[in-house]
Amino acid sequence: MGSLGALVKHPDDFYPLLKLKMASRHAERQIPSEPHWAFCFSMLHKVSRSFALVIQQLDTELKNAVCIFYLVLRALDTVEDDTSVATDIKVPILKEFYRHIYDPDWHFSCGTKNYKVLMDEFHHVSTAFLELEKGYQEAIEDITKRMGAGMAKFICKEVETVDDYDEYCHYVAGLVGLGLSKLFHACGTEDLAPDTLSNSMGLFLQKTNIIRDYLEDINEIPKSRMFWPRQIWGKYVSKLEDLKYKENSVKAVQCLNDMITNALIHVDDCLKYMSALRDPAIFRFCAIPQVMAIGTLALCYNNIEVFRGVVKMRRGLTAKVIDRTNTMADVYGAFYDFSCMLKAKVDKNDPSAQKMSSRLDSILKTCRDSGVLNERFIEVSLLIFMVDAVIFV
């Protein structure tokens, strides 16, 4: 529930943290009794507790489909992420993975810890997948096929240009956005969102993760994983790994700010996507990760600690975001607050400062033009949250 020291410093975190803890326990009690479904939802809690919590708000049919969709793509991602698997073995598996989800007898051992268990016991996921309605199965198969092909392409291809970066992020996350939109439409509660907006929802989250996880990825054993595009980092250093060295701190922060400026391209599309959602549960399911992403970028911007450890929002603030993201007014308010915080951190001498300021002005205008900022429940005091970063070295 967070350290005592953090609660003393932020006593207003207590109630949101308590609610989060109670909701998490409730979600754990909702695990189905059938062995294959029990495995799927138990595994979901192990590989992503926050996702497992938010998904519980969905109705049973959609919840089951989204759970399987997530686990299938998590398994696919586990194959891609395992740098110990030889390329000549990995690429065919990625390309054919969409076929394997129909075969309860298939499994491939890779990954570590809970991800290895997921791969070794993948027959449970396949069995549950085969019980979904055909419309859900077709959507999951389509996205898995396209994502696997895209991942295979980038196993043998470096991320050189910003276009490469966008293409890679489309394959590993934009397609998730497209798939979720298809699932929402298949359950009959939402119109089918335009692909461009669905894609941006995924790209914004993925780029945030890639930025935040620089040090973890660059230090990957036995081989580094590099997703930052050379077109950006090449303006600052000769090799991507040079950013982690203290003698390059100024250039590292400038490169980081450039990457965050690039990520903000997708915000307007994300706000359009969320504003069109009708179902409150689906809205919260989509909105909470987006608010967390803009908050994470606000914390990372101009922050050398991204190259020293893992930087993330404190748990109490995360609990507040989950508790208080209920309406589009809350979302506009959060994006407005975090954008104001970003704007206050921009150094006019930074190489990307002008472009960053322009993008932030656009986001702030969109939020003001919504006409609902005065209705929001997200606190303006979030603007001072940067002092509460949690850094693990």
Q: Is the separation of the CB atoms in 40 and 67 below 8 Å?
A: yes
**Quick one: how far is CA 393 from the chain centroid?**
22
* Element at 63 (helix H, strand E): helix 60-81
Catalytic residue among 69, 136, 285, 385: 285
**Quick one: how far is CA 164 from the chain centroid?**
19
Active site residue 338: no
Picking from 199, 193, 389, the residue whose alpha carbon sits closest to that of residue 304 is: 389
């932030």: which residue's tokens?
360
Catalytic residue among 49, 146, 225, 230: 225
Q: Check residue 126 and report its DSSP letter.
A: H
Catalytic residue among 51, 69, 168, 204: 168
The SS3 assignment for 106 reads coil
Catalytic residue among 212, 284, 314, 359: 212
How many CA atoms, within 13 angstroms, populate the side-chain half-sphere of residue 98?
Answer: 17
Task: Tell me phi and psi for residue 113, to 5 degrees.
Answer: 50, -130
Extract the tokens encoding 288: 């909470």
Question: Rounded to whole angstroms, how far apart are CA atoms 156 and 360?
Answer: 36
Active site residue 225: yes
Active site residue 285: yes
Active site residue 230: no
* Greatest C-alpha distance within the chain: 60
The residues carrying an active-site annotation are 168, 212, 225, 285
